[in-house]
Structure 1
Amino acid sequence: MRAVRQAHTGPELIVRRLLHGSGLRFRLHQRGLPGRPDIVLPKHRTVIFVHGCFWHRHAGCPKATMPKTRIEFWREKFNRNVSRDHGIEQALVDAGWRVLTIWECETGRPEALKEKLRTQFGLKKQKRGG
């Protein structure tokens, strides 16, 4: 598990590129906020978590499989992860932040993800060309 990256993951980089390309500016992994969100957009008072489907148990996702060995260990670990995620989200909401969770599987469809971000931040579609 030591090899599992916590920051600057592939899915996180995809989300950051989309946000930056849409003209949004952000901070990364701000220490003063509960859970150290992956992306913080202070102007919009919004935080974004880019969650891995396996580790954070994305409901209904084929990537959220259960390992075949040490099932009780993994069940407890996943339950703690999900419980911690809910607690962090609630603490952020209580502090006046909007919380957006983007799942790893969503980053595989950049156009749909771009639309989700557009909707969240009220952005206009960018015109192509000069």
Structure 2
Amino acid sequence: MARVRQRHTAPELMLRRELFARGFRFRLHVRELPGTPDIVLSKWSAVVFVNGCFWHRHNCKRFNWPKSNSEFWRRKISRNVERDEKSISALLALGWRVAVVWQCEIGQKSIDKAQVVDRLDRWLRSASNLGPERFSAT
């Protein structure tokens, strides 16, 4: 697990590149905020988490429970999901808008990247305070 990146993953870099190209400016991995969001857009009072499908138990084809050492993985991934929920709740309580973008939606092989980035762009520019927002191509 030491080789698994926590920051600057390919999906995160792609999303940052697209947001920057659209004129958004942001800070990265702000430790002072609950959950250390991947992207913090202070001007828009918004944070974005770019979640890996396996590590955060996304309901997609990329997530399968491991067959070996399954009890360990079930506990670990369940704790990750609980921590995510607590972080999102804390951010919402602080007045931040929260978006979660999944690896499978913007990964290297995804054909729907543009749709996801367009939806995120519209959400950021809107006054929508209903959160958290989960971004997918659909």
Match of 1:112 in 2: 115
What is the one-letter code of the residue matched to 1:23? G
Match of 2:102 in 1: 103
Contact 2:44–2:125 (Cα < 8 Å) also in 1: no
Identity level (%): 50
Superimposed CA distance per residue, residues 60-91 of structure 1 (whole angstroms, 9 cap, x where no aligned partner): x0111111111111111111000000000000
Give the TM-score normalised by the residue count of structure 1. Answer: 0.90
Note the C-alpha offset of 1:119. Answer: 2.1
Give the TM-score normalised by the residue count of structure 2. Answer: 0.85
What is the one-letter code of the residue matched to 1:31? R
Note the C-alpha offset of 1:111. Answer: 1.3
Q: How many pairs align?
A: 122
Gaps of 5+ in 2: 127-138
Match of 1:34 in 2: 34
Match of 1:52 in 2: 52
RMSD: 1.1
What is the one-letter code of the residue matched to 1:104? Q
Match of 2:9 in 1: 9
Instruction: State how far apart, in whole Å, the 2-side matches of 1:37 and 1:55 are.
Output: 15
Note the C-alpha offset of 1:110. Answer: 1.8
Gaps of 5+ in 1: 124-130
2:67 corresponds to 1:64:
no
* Corresponding residue SS for 1:56: coil
Superimposed CA distance per residue, residues 35-67 of structure 1 (whole angstroms, 9 cap, x where no aligned partner): 1100000000000000000000012x0111111
Comparing both structures, which one devotes a greater share of its residues to helix? 1
Structure 1 stretches of 4+ with a deviation exceeding 6 A read: none
Superimposed CA distance per residue, residues 12-43 of structure 1 (whole angstroms, 9 cap, x where no aligned partner): 00110111011100000111101110000000
Structure (1 or 2) with the larger CA radius of gyration: 1
